């Protein structure tokens, strides 16, 4: 059986670039912490995405130059950011009204596990001694129109992250629409996982072997 570590799939940047292709012009987007943040580097020409950060800013701009940061202008990951022309500040209840009320077009999140019915686990290992922390993830998956997951296809130890059903505590049920991994782009459909696109040089059989649930091919 193929070892995950032997495969040369998309880089994190390539995954983010591939995902960015699927975001329409003018979309209101919330990006989770980590790989999702890379999306801002790959906005296709002629398009403009408006970034929402749940701590109260719409129209978030890039990081400021080193040393220019304002500790009162940060994103949800608590990093210094800037505000673009046309930005707006608002309080937390208004910010989550945008999320819960279905006003955001897209939430891009990392994952620990995604199940074939779209269940997502990305907030807790469920270990008894872990200090639980959930932030806004449950609100995002419950409220935003589309949820894209961007993640390595397997864990560092080679365990599939795409599974029949999640063993970690859920962030939300039936919430993921599409997964961008280093090996493939995969839709969550009523029939289960369906491959949309394979990373060049990676074949369907390999991806299936590294996935914990049945995959449907793209052209079926």
- Only segment of 13-21, 32-40, 70-78, 153-161 that touches other proteins (CB under 8 A): 70-78
The nearer residue to other proteins, 9 or 136, going by C-beta atoms, is: 136
- Tell me which residue of 33, 13, 27, 37 sits closest to 58, measured CA to CA: 27
Q: How far is the CB of 30 from other proteins (least distance, A)?
A: 11
CA angle 28, 177, 17 (to 5 degrees): 60
Binding mask 115-154 for other proteins (x = CB under 8 A): ----x----x----x-xxxxxxxxx--xx-----------
Query: Residue 47, Cβ neighbours under 10 Å: how many?
Result: 13
Q: Are 196 and 180 in contact (CB under 8 A)?
A: no
Shortest distance in whole angstroms from residue 62 CB to other proteins? 15
Closest by alpha carbon to 86, among 57, 112, 128, 107? 57
Min dist. Cβ of residue 120 to other proteins (A): 10
Pick from 172, 183, 199, 202 the residue near other proteins by CB under 8 A. Answer: 172
Cβ(204)–Cβ(215) under 8 Å?
yes
Smallest separation (angstroms) from other proteins to the CB of 125: 12
Task: Report how far residue 150's alpha carbon sits from residue 180's, in angstroms, rounded to the nearest whole number.
Answer: 5
When binding is defined by CB under 8 A, the residue of 33, 169, 189, 196 that contacts other proteins is 169
Catalytic positions: 54
Which of 23, 35, 39, 54 contacts other proteins by CB under 8 A?
Answer: 54
Enter the tokens of residue 134: 């959930």
Distance spanning both ends of the chain, measured CA to CA = 25
Q: Which residues bind other proteins (CB under 8 A)?
A: 25-26, 28, 46, 48, 50, 52-59, 70-75, 78, 83-104, 119, 124, 129, 131-139, 142-143, 169-173
């Amino acid at each position: 059986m193929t070892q995950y570590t032997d495969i040369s799939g998309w880089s994190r940047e390539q995954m983010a670039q591939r995902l960015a292709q699927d975001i329409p012009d003018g979309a209101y987007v919330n990006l989770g912490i980590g790989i999702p943040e890379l999306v801002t580097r790959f906005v296709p020409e002629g398009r403009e995405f408006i970034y929402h950060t749940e701590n109260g800013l719409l129209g978030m701009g890039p990081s400021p130059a080193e040393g220019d940061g304002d500790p009162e202008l940060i994103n949800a990951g608590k990093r210094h950011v800037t505000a673009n022309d046309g930005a707006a500040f608002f309080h937390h209840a208004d910010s989550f009204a945008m999320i819960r009320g279905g006003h955001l077009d897209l939430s891009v999140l990392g994952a620990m596990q995604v199940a074939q019915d779209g269940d997502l686990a990305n907030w807790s290992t469920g270990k008894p001694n872990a200090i639980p922390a959930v932030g806004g993830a449950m609100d995002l998956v419950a409220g935003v129109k589309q949820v894209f997951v961007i993640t390595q296809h397997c864990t560092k130890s080679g365990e599939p992250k795409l599974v029949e059903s999640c063993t970690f505590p859920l962030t939300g049920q039936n919430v993921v629409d599409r997964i961008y991994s280093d090996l493939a782009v995969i839709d969550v459909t009523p029939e289960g996982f369906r491959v949309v696109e394979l990373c060049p040089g990676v074949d369907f059989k390999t991806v299936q072997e590294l996935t914990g649930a049945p995959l449907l091919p793209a052209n079926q």
